[in-house]
Structure 1
């Protein structure tokens, strides 16, 4: 039962009547002051605790509602119902009673992309002070950002031999679990009739298995040029009767027939000088060789990729942007570890999967609608680059003994990452078990350096390079990146 100060006042009056002298008066004054101080302190603590609990509940309600609006899990009409459900469930703690909590206002601002809510509760004070109000209204306001942007995410995933299961570790198993959870988090809660997020996979090892996109790949031979056939070449003239460059579809058919593919693998695209090309140009881009003759910018499959043992194409294929969760998860389930670490080639194909210049090629291959045009106000493009070791394999622009492959691969990766970032793609990187003692200290430092240099600059509360030592940390890194992509933060 709550007690007021009325009784205390009467006791003080009797004390004064029954005692005489200054001592009695001073004692009464001291007791009154003490009682007032204690009561005020208790009331203040009660209000502070109640306000803190109510604000925490409202923060959770607003943030959760903003996330649901962002992912499309709820329509805007359900925002108030969602806020109330969280608020009333979590707000009735401490001295607040859930049935006395009120959602006073809720504003979904389409311009600022915010959800703002004000809530209040009336609480009965433990110590009403000499006729003062015995209740107090506490009001709090919270806001969170939401987004109606579309999101395109391409995940580069390491399937190289060092990821294989051993007596002590199961890194490929850790990757399967982390990648599965990432896909489910990104695609699991969105509105299937109006999906907001699309995901691409770029598994890699000694090269990249491009699947149905293979007709955009030029399969070199030991005796062929580094570049696809140019206009006026014997091959094209014999097939078309013209020295002009044929239509792209015709060109691809002629090249594929003359240079058949032994697999669906791709390495770097080469420029006119035989070095790796760092652009995201589509394969139908017309280029010229050193003599000014035009050709189409097909991606190369270097003849030094033998296709056997460690130097072969991974079985897992590139999957362009899709909302098909089952297709992505089926591919991840079949991940197997084998091969060298051609990281720059994987970075290159991650770039392609996010570039609208590859839209036609992807659509022509029957692999979906392809990437959308860049529009920072309406679309976020994100690359997640994951590896467990040092990039050590390259083909374009390396010497015959390939001793400089690692340096070339790392330099190529950083150049491609720079181009991605310049094109508005946000780049996150994850190093997995990079402190593995099977690598030298120099190799470990170089591996981390590439990933740090590739990643986008950090922002307040948002990191872009993750150093994961265990499967749990790998899973956590993916989840943290996904949370960052949503861009949900409290603004008040």
Structure 2
């Protein structure tokens, strides 16, 4: 650039050889040379400043999202800065400072560029300094209970769709372990439900020990009762449970305070084979259990709802292995979330451990019901109370209705239980169910990071 201007001036001088022009040229040329050279050097410095600011802004924002100790944040942010400010471009970094405060991350740098003109005046380099800062983000932990309908109406393609969609959510929500995020975690509990919830080896701890023999009140291996036709019927106890009644019906008080209900199922409406899984970050275990779901039984959605709450309740933690125990409700930087999913109306309330005579359509034969009404009311009413209580404890509730477009009561309970309109989903096929689970997973993932 400088050479071009000088050559232009020389050409003009040759075409005008008057003595006056020669004098003017001799006087002006050094000043022009200096001005142009200074402009070039200052332009380089300006470009360097812009480049430095861009790299620092990106680094500060990235550093603000990092969890871990000061040295880890500094090391990781330093690598990020150099990736955005490679050595083969304009300017050389002579100093980089990354300061990690309680709430602010500050990144400052000084770079230098070689001068073309000012080096002739004894200033070989121009130094440029810049600084950027960002508010530190906070990583949050996630405890999530998946309350999933595996009733008989889910047989066939529906249960396949559920397996696929729920597995996709697990892959998104469960983060890979990171040694720098030791205090931050994401865990999921599984609550598959149909006519009850299978507690597996935990059944005795939550509904009480089983006495041998046959009794005419709940608590024995076999329960003999009268159905609505006044006929004697005998059912065997199962590892499933029903709701508890009385003062603790809509609380998360532990079973050491009040046991949950017994469950004596009919042979054609059996306890589902898939048990609950307490909170875990083991993706393989979760997906293996999900892929083993079998569709069977009627819809005691209120019992599934209750167990979604219990799985997140710190009051029930003593039942589970230490790594599966929920944290206290008031734990900082922790979200407790339940996802409720159904493909039908809740229809199976209990009385004395057997589906009650006032259970609604789809709950099984009247001959297999007990001759008393559910003391807590309908399954729908119980689910309403449980959802309200769960949300009062600070649990976020998402709900998904699957193939329920023509089921007014099912839609009503899903809408009621959701924490808001944006937490309520309807899906009429497998693709929509997958999209709903993925959208919920993305929303949950967005909760990991907050400013």
Same fold (TM over 0.5): yes
Query: Does residue 280 of structure 1 match 2:280?
Result: no
**SS of residue matched to 2:261:** strand
SS in 2 for 1:80: helix
Question: 2:367 matched to which residue of 1?
Answer: none
Q: Look up the SS of the partner of 2:99 in the other structure.
A: strand
Q: Which range moved further: 366-375 or 336-345?
A: 366-375
CA contact (8 A) 1:103 1:117 kept: no
Q: Does residue 165 of structure 2 align to residue 175 of structure 1? A: yes
- 1:71-90 matches, cutoff 5 A: 76-90=70-84
SS in 1 for 2:136: strand
Cα 1:472–1:302 shift into 2, 3 Å: closer
Distance 1:104 1:46, change over 3 A: closer
2:384 pairs with 1:414: yes
Q: Which residue of 1 aligns with 2:61?
A: 59
- CA–CA distance in 1 between the matches of 2:6 and 2:154? 78
Give TM-score, length-normalised by structure 1. 0.62
Query: Cα gap change, 1:441/1:325 in structure 2, threshold over 3 Å: closer, same or farther?
Result: closer
Q: Secondary structure at the match of 1:298?
A: coil
Higher strand share: 2
Q: CA deviation at 1:349?
A: 0.3
**Distance in 1, Cα, partners of 2:201 & 2:337:** 22
- C-alpha contact (below 8 Å) 1:164/1:172 kept by paired residues: no
1:455 aligns with 2:415: no
Deviations 1:431-461 (A, max 9, x none): 26x4x4xx44454xx6555444423359xxx
SS at match of 2:246: coil
Q: Which residue matches 2:311?
A: 353
Aligned-pair Cα RMSD in Å = 5.1
Of 342, 358, 376, the match for 2:331? 376
CA distance in 2, matches of 1:170, 1:404: 22
Give, in angstroms, the shift of residue 403 of structure 1: 4.4
- TM-score, length of structure 2 as denominator length: 0.67
Q: Closer, same or farther in 2 for the Cα pair 1:478/1:198, shift >3 Å?
A: same
Change (3 A) 1:401 1:146: closer
> How big is the shift at 1:388?
4.8
Name stretches of at least 5 consecutive residues in structure 1 with no aligned partner.
Answer: 20-35, 70-74, 229-254, 286-296
> How far, CA to CA, are the matches of 1:210 and 1:159 in structure 2?
15
TM-aligned CA distance change 1:388 to 1:125, over 3 Å:
farther
Correspondence list, 1:309-458, <5 A: 311-323=269-281, 326-360=284-318, 362=319, 370-377=325-332, 380-396=334-350, 400=358, 402-403=360-361, 408-425=378-395, 427-431=396-400, 434=402, 436=403, 439-441=404-406, 443=408, 447=410, 449-456=412-419
Residues 124 and 359 (structure 1), Cα distance of their counterparts in 2 relative to 1, 3 Å cut:
same
Q: Given the alignment of the two structures, is residue 480 of structure 1 paired with residue 442 of structure 2, yes or no?
A: yes
Q: Give, in whole Å, the separation in 1 of the partners of 2:169 and 2:281.
A: 15
**1:40-55 equivalences in 2 (<5 Å):** 51-52=53-54, 54-55=56-57
How far residue 267 of structure 1 moved from its aligned partner, in angstroms, is 2.5
Query: Which residue in 2 is equivalent to 1:291?
Result: none
Deviation at 1:343, TM superposition (A): 2.6
Where structure 2 has 5 or more consecutive residues not aligned to the other structure, the ranges are 17-37, 224-234, 364-376
